[in-house]
Amino acid sequence: MTPEEEAERDREGYLLVYVEPHPVNPTSLELRRALKASGLTAREVAKRMGTTPSALSRLLDPFYFGHSLESLRRFAQALGGE
């Protein structure tokens, strides 16, 4: 912040705050794309995976970064992949 900006802030009583968006997980975005392309519902895929729809929803959340290889493998198998 330049001295002029600081003086302006002090005069007006405001503080400038810069906010950056939270990063998204490309894995979740790809899972969403694959689910949509499969034509299956999330409920069907969750059942095939042996999990709940809410657990699958977490995997599809672009702000979730806790994917395990096992959950990715089960997702792929549920869609008919290897």
Residue 76's CATH number:
1.10.260.40
Quote the domain boundaries for residue 44.
24-82
Mean pLDDT along residues 13-26: 83
Dump strand ranges (E) for the chain: none
Higher-confidence residue of 16 and 27: namely 27
Which tokens belong to 12?
């007006």
Give 58-76 as a DSSP string.
Answer: HHH-TT-----HHHHHHHH
pLDDT per residue as tens digits for the range 33-63 = 999 999 999 999 999 999 999 999 999 999 9
Q: How many domains does the chain have?
A: 1
pLDDT in the model for residue 75: 98
Cβ contact 40:1 at 8 Å: no
Q: Is 59 part of a structural domain of the chain? A: yes
Q: Is 41 part of a structural domain of the chain? A: yes
Q: One-letter amino acid identity for 55?
A: A
Instruction: State which H helix or E strand residue 33 sits in.
Output: helix 26-38
The alpha carbon of residue 23 and the mean position of all alpha carbons in its chain are separated, in whole angstroms, by 8
Q: Is 36 part of a structural domain of the chain? A: yes
pLDDT in the model for residue 16: 72
pTM (2 d.p.): 0.73
